[in-house]
Amino acid sequence: MTGQPFHRSRAEMLQERPAPITSVGVIGWMRANLFSTWLNVALTLSALALLALTVPPLIDWTFLDATFAGSAGKDCTGEGACWAWLDQRIHQFVYGFYPAEAYWRANLAVVLLVPAVGYLLFANLPYARYGRWFSLAYPVIAAFLLVGGLGLDVVRTDQFGGFVLNLVAGITGIVLSLPIGILLALGRRSRMPIVRTFSVAFIEFIRGVPLITLLFVAIILLPIFLPREVSLDQLVRVMVIITLFASAYMAEVIRGGLQAIPQGQYEAGQAMGLGYWQSMRLIVLPQALKISIPGIVNTFIGLFKDTTLVIIIGLFDILGQARLLQTNQDWLGKVDYETFLLAALFFFVICFGMSRYSINLEKRLDTTRR
């Protein structure tokens, strides 16, 4: 029998075809992520319904129905938010009672913060070698700019306030609590009894007492014990307490990281003839800190939010300014939600930023072999 041989295979290639639209693109993504199971469908739909119920009224209230002009609460007659205070009061939310002619100093300190932090956080910036030195010198520069002296007018720390105060207290705490926490964590694992006892006692004492109690001790009890001539600056007292408090928690986070490092790593350091500090610096800590990143950032975020407690020494951070405006009789009862919303937005931006950076850092340092 002759004729065409029977081909089980195709003679020519088929044209490439796009994947079915149900598995790629927007629809595919939605099928995979939003509607993969009945439970997911239900969750997606109820979440959408919730958003539809809340978002439009919120936008109406915040922007569309809001009052933006006026000089007192009585001008806010609409249904929406009252933002009329913004143009007169925003500088107090940002700078507190910092003297207006010195705003440039606070501005400069915040602007310089960007490269100072940038060089610490990101490895691939230009002029990195000099940048690191700048980062180290930054605290001195910022303190000089903010407080004054040496030719600049001195600004008392009780004039600090608003956003700038949160930043000053938060960043000081963050920068100092990490090294102190590392030392305490190493101290707690040390074989030297005095160092170990001190570290354990310090950490357990601080963790055993609420922050607000420590603050009251520093603010109310300390002046009774100190002679009258010795007066420690109130803001310094609070910043020391907040830093020590965060350090104790930091120490435990880092100790967790240290304990996750296999004994072999320590022994490897010794085998290579490295001393204690060398092996810690070169081998153990880089690994321990890397796995502690989520916990460290957790502590940072907690610390940053604790800076609102400066209200108990009568300083008005951004939250304090919000409450202060609420008790101004011109705005009484009109700006309760608006001022809190502004403070919340500010904290969200900073804390969300920290958490995103920590995710970025974890990915960058990820050396696990998957």
Partner 1 sequence: MKFKQIAGAVAVAGALCVAGGMPGQAATLDDVKAAGTLKCGINTGLPGFAYTDDAGKWTGFDVAYCRALAAAVLGDANKVTFVNLTGKTRFPALAAGEIDVLSRNTTWTLSRDVDLGFTFIGVNYYDGQGFIGRKALGVKSAKELGGASVCIQTGTTTELNLADFFRINKIKYEPVPIETNAEARAAYDAERCDVYTTDASGLAATRTTFPKPGDHMVFPEIISKEPLGPLVRQGDDQWADIARWTLNALITAEELGVTQGNVAKMAEGTDNPEINRMLGKEGSMGKMLGLDANWAARAIAAEGNYAEMFERYIGADSPLGLGRGLNALYKDGGILYSPPFR
Rg (CA), the chain: 28
330 contributes a contact to partner 1 by CB under 8 A = yes
333 contributes a contact to partner 1 by CB under 8 A = yes
> Binding segment for partner 1 among 41-49, 94-102, 260-268, 361-369 (CB under 8 A)?
94-102
Q: Which of 324, 338, 343, 346 binds partner 1 (CB under 8 A)?
A: 324
CB 298 within 8 A of CB 362: no
The nearer residue to partner 1, 27 or 311, going by C-beta atoms, is 311
Q: Which of 128, 226, 271, 345 binds partner 1 (CB under 8 A)?
A: 226
For the chain, the residue count is 370
Q: Which residue has the tokens 């922050």?
A: 211
Q: Which of 22, 46, 54, 88 binds partner 1 (CB under 8 A)?
A: 88
60 contributes a contact to partner 1 by CB under 8 A = no
Q: Shortest approach of partner 1 to residue 327 CB, angstroms?
A: 4
The nearer residue to partner 1, 98 or 245, going by C-beta atoms, is 98
Cβ-based burial of 332 (10 A; exposed 0-12, middle 13-18, buried ≥19): middle
Sign of CA dihedral 312, 317, 321, 322: negative
The nearer residue to partner 1, 257 or 320, going by C-beta atoms, is 320
Query: Beta partners for 149?
Result: 152
CB 339 within 8 A of CB 99: no
213 contributes a contact to partner 1 by CB under 8 A = no
Q: Shortest approach of partner 1 to residue 146 CB, angstroms?
A: 17
Q: Which of 43, 125, 154, 220 binds partner 1 (CB under 8 A)?
A: 220
Q: Shortest approach of partner 1 to residue 77 CB, angstroms?
A: 10
237 contributes a contact to partner 1 by CB under 8 A = no
326 contributes a contact to partner 1 by CB under 8 A = yes
> Binding segment for partner 1 among 22-30, 55-63, 199-207, 316-324 (CB under 8 A)?
316-324
Q: Binding string, 95-114, against partner 1, x = CB under 8 A?
A: -xx--x--------------
Q: Which of 192, 314, 345, 366 binds partner 1 (CB under 8 A)?
A: 314
The nearer residue to partner 1, 88 or 270, going by C-beta atoms, is 88
Q: Which residue has the tokens 């490439």?
A: 16
323 contributes a contact to partner 1 by CB under 8 A = yes
67 contributes a contact to partner 1 by CB under 8 A = no
Angle of helix 103-121 relative to helix 162-188, nearest 10 degrees?
Answer: 40
Q: Shortest approach of partner 1 to residue 218 CB, angstroms?
A: 12
4 contributes a contact to partner 1 by CB under 8 A = no
40 contributes a contact to partner 1 by CB under 8 A = no
Of the candidates 82, 62, 66, 64, the residue with the CA atom closest to the CA atom of residue 74: 82
Q: Shortest approach of partner 1 to residue 96 CB, angstroms?
A: 8
Q: Which two tokens stand for residue 186?
A: 């190493």
The nearer residue to partner 1, 252 or 317, going by C-beta atoms, is 317
Q: Shortest approach of partner 1 to residue 261 CB, angstroms?
A: 42
> Binding segment for partner 1 among 60-68, 265-273, 332-340, 350-358 (CB under 8 A)?
332-340
Rounded to whole angstroms, how far apart are CA atoms 249 and 204?
Answer: 10
Cβ-based burial of 353 (10 A; exposed 0-12, middle 13-18, buried ≥19): exposed
* Residues contributing to the site for partner 1 (CB under 8 A): 72-73, 88-89, 92, 96-97, 100, 158, 216, 219-220, 223-228, 311-316, 320, 323-324, 326-330, 332-334, 336
